Amino acid sequence: MKSGKIILSFLLLAILIIGCVPSKPTREEQNLPAERLIKKLEANRRRVKTFRGTGVIKVESPQFGATASFEVSLRKPDSIKINVVGPFGIDLAEALVTTNEFRFYDSMNNRLYKGRSGGKIIKKILKVDLDFNDLMDAFAGAVNLTEKLRRVPDKYLIREESYTLIYVDSLANKISSYYVDPENYTITEFKLNTLDKEEVFKGNYYGFREYSGVYVPQRSTISNNAKEQTLSIEYRTVEINEPIESFELKVPKDAEVIEWTN
């Protein structure tokens, strides 16, 4: 009799434990309407106010190819600081780019270049055609969906492994496709094609990790096929929404100053 009571107690305890475990969301619960999914993705991107990371950056194009260690600091919406480091931890160059101006210090030749910001300046520094906001999103491993917040996608595909949002712009001759991981609501791939399905631009994002409630890819590859340019970023360390003390460059007083115009 006593053993029967013990068995009954264990059964009741097991039922109680099972009842307390949250049930896994059903597929219907996970299948968000397109407008809610877009708002969720954009809200996650905007949660990043500051970003700091170290890793390896690689640039490939017909005119240029290089790989280097780097450190980047971002403060949204207006500041990007990049430090490129060579062998033995030697600082090779530092760049500070804001929405209004840039400063680029070439430590090897002790020269400070400065001037107004613009896409041409970013191309001269990093050898890729990106505007300021695209560069900030590229380093943060994010895709900007602001323009899609008030637009219903032309196609919304729900599959077991991903959501797919597709937008068609006949006037601009482009199709934008976004592939979303339904488990953590991250964009794993973005493609821009012509209406004839010629690939113009592509972004791939891998190895997401969570930092302070924000998922960040450890590896990103941005390809501008029209210009045959590829920017690859792989992080060793990442910090999200931590204070960044200064965005000033460490420039010697005897550095040669050169005004750089677009």
Write the pLDDT tens digit of every residue in 113-137. 988 877 677 777 777 778 888 889 9
Question: Which two structure tokens, joined as six digits, stand for 215?
Answer: 């998922």
- Round to the nearest angstrom and report the end-to-end CA distance of the chain: 91
Instruction: Determine the Cα–Cα distance for residues 177 and 43; give it in Å rounded to an integer.
Output: 19
Which of 29, 49, 42 is closest to 180 using CA atoms? 42
Poorest-pLDDT segment among 2-16, 59-73, 243-257: 2-16
pLDDT at residue number 120:
72
Backbone angles phi, psi at 20, to 5 degrees: -85, -15
> CB of 202 within 8 A of CB of 194?
no
- Alpha helices by DSSP H, listed for the chain, are 2-20, 27-30, 34-46, 119-126, 132-140
225: number of Cβ within 10 Å: 14
230, amino acid identity: T
Beta bridge partners of 191: 177, 202
Range 71-78 average pLDDT: 93
Cα within 13 Å of Cα(221), Cβ side: 10
> CB of 262 within 8 A of CB of 121?
yes
* Arithmetic mean of pLDDT over the chain: 84
Burial class (CB in 10 A: 0-12, 13-18, 19+), 72: buried
Instruction: Determine the Cα–Cα distance for residues 7 and 106; give it in Å rounded to an integer.
Output: 76
In whole angstroms, how far apart are CA 158 and each of 58, 124, 162, 202? 34, 41, 6, 21
pLDDT at residue number 39:
94
Question: Which two structure tokens, joined as six digits, stand for 236?
Answer: 């060793």
Residue of 191 and 61 predicted with greater confidence: 191
Instruction: Determine the Cα–Cα distance for residues 117 and 131; give it in Å rounded to an integer.
Output: 9
Question: Which two structure tokens, joined as six digits, stand for 194?
Answer: 């012509």
Write the pLDDT tens digit of every residue in 89-117: 567 889 999 888 889 999 889 999 988 87
Beta bridge partners of 201: 192, 224
Which of 180, 183, 187, 209 is closest to 25 using CA atoms? 183
Collapsing DSSP states into helix, strand and coil, what is residue 185?
A: coil
Collapsing DSSP states into helix, strand and coil, what is residue 235?
A: strand
Collapsing DSSP states into helix, strand and coil, what is residue 91?
A: strand
